[in-house]
Every structure is written in structure tokens, then in C-alpha cells.
Amino acid sequence: MSQTVSPSIASPQTQQVLDVELRQVSKYFGGEAAIQDIDLKIREGEFFSILGPSGCGKTTTLRLIAGFEQPSAGMVLIQGRDMSRTPAHRRSVNTVFQSYALFNHMTVKDNIAFGLRVKRMGRSQREQRVADALQLVKMGSFAHRYPQQLSGGQKQRVALARALVNRPAVMLLDEPLGALDLKLRKQMQVELTNLHQQLGITFVMVTHDQEEALSLSNRIAVMKDGDIEQIGTPSEIYDYPQTPFVADFIGETNLLQGEVEFADSQMLRLLTPEGTTVLVNRSEANLPDLKTAVVSVRPENIRLSQEAPLNEGNCYSGYVKHIMYLGTHLHCVVQLQTGERLTVMQPNRSEQSLTPETPVYVSWLPSDCLALAA
Ligand code: ATP
């Protein structure tokens, strides 16, 4: 299969080598759109995650790249080549599924060798490839076991080896750690990162776990209702969400919606229906154009004190409604005098004696919150 880039369809951004590109891709099932007009560019060597709530179209997007589904409209390109006539088994991608999809009647070694046998690779080369793949996932001593004799984490390693043995340009991972318990999941996250760095190939992972996406990825696409809301690095997505949905979905945040009382290019003043005034001087939208806005303030950016604070930012009085001890931190819900509730994350300091009903002040700087178009 030729790997040359057809000049007619190559990306105009020639500095970036793209491994996967979706151009205006839609997929309908029985008249219902699973994804609509999606544009996506995944660079060579990236760890790219597709993140979003259940049913938003993540798996459909991955299956279109894999070739298990055909787009209803638009074009999927892999390494610059239009894939509309290339079946799944001839694409330079391999998929790892949450369910592992191993053959139970075959040993670990035969499961991994299966794809190479189908390609009729010679025995000695095949054995070498399988041994290399087993070593990569640290499963060399399990070669002769059957899948039912393995733990969940070990099965997932075999599934990874079975995909890697084909030396794909792109690894597609569909909730690869979804079936593992939390501890094993954390361990496998580290192993996935190591594998990605060692191999230098492109990883495209579907997940609904935002912490997993933030910790593993170079870039993330956040999806909602079959559309992409935002693409960015983990810190761009977390610190500069472009929509209230992204702000709320990634991490925890407080969203205050209201009318814009005043706005210039530097500062915005918002009045909520409850009568709370909020000052903001960071925005993802053009501040003077906003009539209504949503202000996002992260729980960790809110300071909580029992004395009135001295800063001139946003400061409100209220009382502690709920409090949860998380060891290093306290997770508090504060009921403001005006009626709104805010979630606050506080370092757990011994001098504080917070209990439900404790009167408190909450405050944050105008630079510690973000105005978004409502
Ligand atoms: P989850 O996290 O729950 O796996 P997802 O984001 O991966 O969800 P998809 O599996 O891509 O979502 O599904 C997107 C939408 O398309 C859903 O409404 C789903 O019901 C629908 N859908 C997906 N596959 C099919 C199919 N083969 N036939 C009909 N509808 C489908």
C-alpha cells in the first residue's frame, strides 16, 4: 500500500504531519445523526483523546477512523489518504476495545500472532514480532496461558500487544481501561503513557473519564451531542474552556448566569437573578458584545474565610451548607445570603473549624473566573 500523500487531498497545513483527519464528517443511523459535520486533525505521534458524556458520538468517531463504519457524508483521511475505498483491515490502524475481544480458545501467544497469520507472515518473523510485543507489555511469562487464566489488567495488556504487533501507524483505543478497577486503571494509565513514548506512534483514545484524558493526552477533543465543543491541550481545556458545557464537564466548576450590567474590553460586571454582582476580567468571548453571560469559577479558586477578606474582588457572605473531608482538602458547599450555592475546595488547615451552619465569607479575584457566552 502506497503511503504517499495525494496532492489533491493533502492538508493545507503542510508543517503539521497529520495521521488522521476528518473533514466535515457526519454519520446517520436511521435518520438520526450520531455525529454531524465534524472536522478533526490528529497529528503524527500525538496522544489524542476524544472525551464526552455517554451517547455524544465518541465511539462512532473512532469506528469511522477504524473503518468499521462508513461516513454518511464527509471524508476520513489516514496519513493524507482518503479512506472511503479502504476497508478496515487495509487501514494502518489497530483498535483496542474495552471488552478486550480476545479469542478464549487461543493462548496469549496465538491471540497476538493471529493478525500476522492472517497476513501470512513467515514463522520466524512472526515469532520474533510476537516476542517483542509480549516484552513491550511485560507479558513474556504468560505466553502459553489462555485468556480465562488472566486478570483484567493482564487481558488488557494482551489486547494492547495484539494491536501493537501489527505495527500500526495509529492505535485506536476505545475506553481501553474502562473495565479495570481504579487502582489497576491508574497503573495501566502509566503503562499506556510509557508505551506511547516508547513507540512514538499516534494514539487516539475514547474515554468518558476526564481525569484520564487530562493526565494522558497531548490534546483532547470534547464532544457533545454529536459535535465537537472544543479541541485543545489539557491546560487549554481546563483553564480556558470556551463553552459552559466544557467548563462544567472538565473538572468541577461553579456557573453563575446573569445579565451583563457593564462590559468593556477589560472588565465585565454580571448581575445574577438572585442579585449577586460578579466582576470578571478574563473572557473567552468579546466582553463588550455580551448581553448575558455565564461566569465560571473553579472551586479551588475560591477562598473561604471566617473573617471578612481584604481583597477588592468578588466577596460574599453566607454559611457552610455541607462539608466533606477529603484528607488534604475540604469540599464545602456554601449557601450565599443571596441564595446561590457555591462549591469551594479548601486546603485542610487545622486552624479552621468549619461545620455546617458556620458563617463564612467566600471570595475570588476577577482574574480567577472566566466569562463565557451564555
Ligand atoms: P458511550 O460513552 O455510551 O459509549 P458514545 O459517545 O461512544 O457513548 P456512540 O456509541 O458513538 O456514543 O453513539 C452516538 C449515538 O449514535 C447514540 O445516540 C447511539 O445510540 C447512536 N448509535 C451508535 N451506533 C448505532 C447503531 N449501530 N445503530 C443505531 N444507532 C447507533
CATH number of the domain residue 349 falls in: 2.40.50.140
Instruction: Name every residue whose Cβ is closer than 8 Å to that of residue 369 and which is 6 or more positions away in sequence.
Output: 278, 280, 282, 295, 296, 297, 301, 314
98 lines ligand 1 (CB under 6 A): no
Q: Do 211 and 278 have their domain in common?
A: no
- Number of domains the chain is built from: 2
* 374 CA → ligand 1 middle, Å: 28
Q: Supply 138's cell numbers.
A: 511485560
- Specify the pairing of strand 277-280 against strand 292-297: unpaired
Q: What is the pLDDT of residue 28?
A: 97
Ligand 1 nearest-atom number relative to CA 52 = 6
Q: Quick check: is 196 in a domain? A: yes
From the number of C-beta atoms within 10 Å of its C-beta (0-12, 13-18, 19+), residue 333 rates as middle
Best probe residue, ligand 1, of 27, 29, 98 (max atoms within 8 Å of C-beta): 29
Domain span at 360? 252-373
Q: Do 213 and 229 have their domain in common?
A: yes
Q: What is the pLDDT of residue 169?
A: 93
Q: Do 208 and 325 have their domain in common?
A: no
Domain C-terminal end among 244, 275, 300: 244
Segments of the chain scoring below 70 in pLDDT: 1-16, 312, 350-351
52 lines ligand 1 (CB under 6 A): yes
Q: Do 217 and 284 have their domain in common?
A: no
Domain C-terminal end among 219, 244, 269: 244
Q: What is the pLDDT of residue 350?
A: 65
Instruction: Name every residue whose Cβ is closer than 8 Å to that of residue 209 and which is 6 or more positions away in sequence.
Output: 51
Secondary structure E strands in the chain: 18-29, 32-43, 47-51, 73-78, 81-82, 93-97, 170-174, 202-207, 219-224, 227-232, 254-263, 268-271, 277-280, 292-297, 303-305, 314-325, 329-336, 341-347, 359-364, 369-373
Exposure b/e, 145-180, CB count within 10 A at least 16 = b: ebbeebeebbbbbbbbbbbbbbebbbbbbbbbbbbb
